[in-house]
Amino acid sequence: MTSLLFSLWLSALLSFTSLLVILFRVSPLQAPLHALPAFYLSLLLSVSSISMILAYILWKRFGPAAKNDTIIFRIAFREGVFLGLSTLLLLSLLLFQILTWWITLLVLTVFVLVEIALHV
């Protein structure tokens, strides 16, 4: 399990570094075909991996003591991927200028309901 956590920390560091490089070094005006997909991919990876780490820490600290590390890691992985995908969806809707507060509320509600359904 420690090798998985080390890999998760390493992926979070690398994806966050790539996100910073894309934000500060790549111009979407000069290369729009390469800049936007690279930005979205690095954002998805960084949000997913950082939220996986936070979810794992929260489940380990405040979750039930009967759960082992594999189950906690699986739950944290699922929550991280859902949060990354919902962030990507909300950012895409913002790019198309159709994002409103109630759409954000609906996307987050779907995220929470799917997580509740899969957790039970």
**Could you read off the pLDDT of 79-119 as tens digits, one per residue?**
999 999 999 999 999 999 999 999 999 999 999 999 889 87
pLDDT digit string, tens, across residues 20-38: 999 898 877 787 788 889 9
Q: How many domains does the chain fold into? A: 1
Average pLDDT over residues 47-61: 93
- Report the C-alpha gap between 38 and 114 in whole angstroms: 28
Query: Measured between alpha carbons, how far is residue 113 from residues 33, 56, 85, 91 in Å?
Result: 35, 19, 15, 21
Which structural domain range is residue 114 located in?
2-119
- Residue 120's pLDDT band, with cuts at 50, 70 and 90, is low
| Residues 80 and 59 sit within 8 Å (Cβ to Cβ) | no
For residue 65, the model assigns a pLDDT of 72
pLDDT at 58 over 70: yes
